[in-house]
Structure 1
Amino acid sequence: METQSIPAPIEAAKRFIKDRFPFCDAALLAGSVVRGEATPTSDLDIVVFDCKVTSAYRESLRAFGWPVEVFVHNLQSYKLFFESDAKRARPSLPRMVSEGLILKNSEILSAIREEAAAIIENGPEMWTEKEIEMKRYFITDTLDDFIGSTKRAEELFIANALADLLHEFVLRTNKHWIGNSKWMFRELTRFDPQFAECFVQAFDNYYKKGEKSQVIELAYSILEPFGGKLFEGFTIK
């Protein structure tokens, strides 16, 4: 019995659009397969623009041998997602649209891609002094928990929280996009590859050997330009 071969990602994506969205206005293939970072578990991230759909939706399915994540928008809904992504400083949709490979083109797509690229280029809004102060406090609180903890099981989760807070602080105070999961490292690398490696080394050393010193030094160095740790006198109103 012959096994049907799985098409290459671009071919599979084009077939998917022809099969599921033949009358859409435009479509893009984005994600790891476009960036050349695909793994054996990668899926096809497909963005569809269709003026006939009443509201945006996301669907996960399998098609042509591939797992597919499809993000469907009309010509108004994507603007709300662009705005929301910019506010949370994680430009998921703008990045997919600006970097995506065109599967189906139309006169509307160029303007949408220009909007997305402008958002990526401008970066997120700068934090206010009050926001920086609040983030310093939460980092201080988590860092002190990390320093004082004597229970390895608890430390692991504290370290995870600290890594998230520190990555956010570095990137936002430099008007740079943040990430979660694998995108934390990717955004740190986009910002400063050398710093990203130091960041990883500090936490890797802790996870492998249980040594906290590099993580603590990293945290102090990040906070120092903004006044260091903050506890006494901090208030939230």
Structure 2
Amino acid sequence: MSDQEAALVQAGRLVGDLFPQAFGAVLGGSAAQGRSTPTSDLDIGVLLADSAGSGRKVIRHEGRLVELFLNSVQDLPTFFEWDRARRRATVVFVYAQGVILTDPDGHVARARQLAQEMVALGPPPLTAEQWSHGRYVLTCYLDDLVDTPPSNRHEQLVIADHVLREAAELLTAHHGAWTGIGKWLPRRLVAADPNLGTALLDGYQAVAEQADPTRLATTVGELLDLIGGLLREGYSHRWQAYEASGT
């Protein structure tokens, strides 16, 4: 039995044992795509009758770590909109690309259709303020990356990490593509832009392995040229958190 088949069987047992009254369930993530290992966790979306049980829950089942995404049929469309707004759409992708485990009344099939429509629609575009903020932050990180001596490896590595993350957010947004975190960051980055995405990752690797920021800095400069250029003096924004609280 392959790793994918074993994951499907185990996920099916879990849903039957813990959620016998569920309206449906789907296995997503690496396990559904045949990219998991025997120690990979399982990402399972479960549709419940009552929104009181909605939420994320991490458990261990038969010795394997499982991440449960629990939603009611009623709250799922609203939750999908919230998930899309984060520009990662974690649970949306579970339903859009996952393998259906159980679906007695067709609720999962309808959820899959909605999720696939959202994936095709893509993430919401950044606002003008978000673009300015992103350019400013990435410019600051780029300056720090260039100014930090290679002998200060701790600071250099942390700065390079921030550079890569901010650059990934802006490059994916430039292409109207989904972003990601963890192992999904390089996957989504390269999918959005094979050339610049790969160059960012290679530049980051050069910092990590050779303490050389040149390639990463050059690629970030190319990215900034695409989205309006470096932004330093002239940038401003209001303290929104204080405005919202009335202070």
Inter-partner Cα distance in structure 1 for 2:15 and 2:158: 42
Inter-partner Cα distance in structure 1 for 2:53 and 2:46: 12
1:82-115 Cα shifts (integer Å, max 9, x gaps): 1221111010010001111111112222221111
Report the counterpart of residue 37 of structure 2 in structure 1: 39
Alignment of 1:218-229 (within 5 A): 218-229=219-230
| Root-mean-square deviation over aligned CA pairs | 1.6
Distance 1:125 1:52, change over 3 A: closer
Contact 1:199/1:218 (<8 A) preserved: yes
Contact 2:196/2:219 (<8 A) preserved: no
Inter-partner Cα distance in structure 2 for 1:133 and 1:59: 36
| Aligned length in residues | 231
Contact 2:39/2:64 (<8 A) preserved: no
User: Structure 2 residue aligned with 1:20, among 1, 18, 21?
Assistant: 18
Deviation at 1:40, TM superposition (A): 4.1
Inter-partner Cα distance in structure 1 for 2:110 and 2:15: 21
TM-score, normalized by length of structure 1? 0.91
Inter-partner Cα distance in structure 2 for 1:208 and 1:170: 24
- Secondary structure in 1 matching 2:68: strand
Kindly indicate whether residue 61 of structure 2 is the aligned counterpart of residue 63 of structure 1.
yes
Alignment of 1:196-207 (within 5 A): 196-207=197-208
Which range moved further: 59-68 or 225-234?
A: 59-68
Inter-partner Cα distance in structure 2 for 1:218 and 1:33: 33
1:23-77 Cα shifts (integer Å, max 9, x gaps): 2111111111111111343011111101145240222222234222222211123
Gaps of 5+ in 1: 1-6
- Secondary structure in 2 matching 1:61: strand
Which one-letter code corresponds to 2:115 in the other structure? Answer: A
Gaps of 5+ in 2: 239-247
- Secondary structure in 1 matching 2:200: helix
Deviation at 1:165, TM superposition (A): 0.5
1:184-209 Cα shifts (integer Å, max 9, x gaps): 10111221334332221111111111
Which one-letter code corresponds to 1:153 in the other structure? Answer: H
Inter-partner Cα distance in structure 2 for 1:9 and 1:225: 43
Which one-letter code corresponds to 2:56 in the other structure? Answer: R
Which one-letter code corresponds to 2:33 in the other structure? Answer: R
Contact 2:60/2:66 (<8 A) preserved: yes
Where has structure 1 moved over 6 Å in runs of 4 or more? none
User: Structure 2 residue aligned with 1:100, among 95, 98, 101?
Assistant: 98
Report the counterpart of residue 49 of structure 1 in structure 2: 47
Contact 1:55/1:77 (<8 A) preserved: no
Inter-partner Cα distance in structure 2 for 1:47 and 1:225: 38
Which one-letter code corresponds to 1:23 in the other structure? Answer: Q
Alignment of 1:103-118 (within 5 A): 103-105=101-103, 106-118=105-117
Distance 1:198 1:36, change over 3 A: same
Inter-partner Cα distance in structure 1 for 2:130 and 2:52: 37
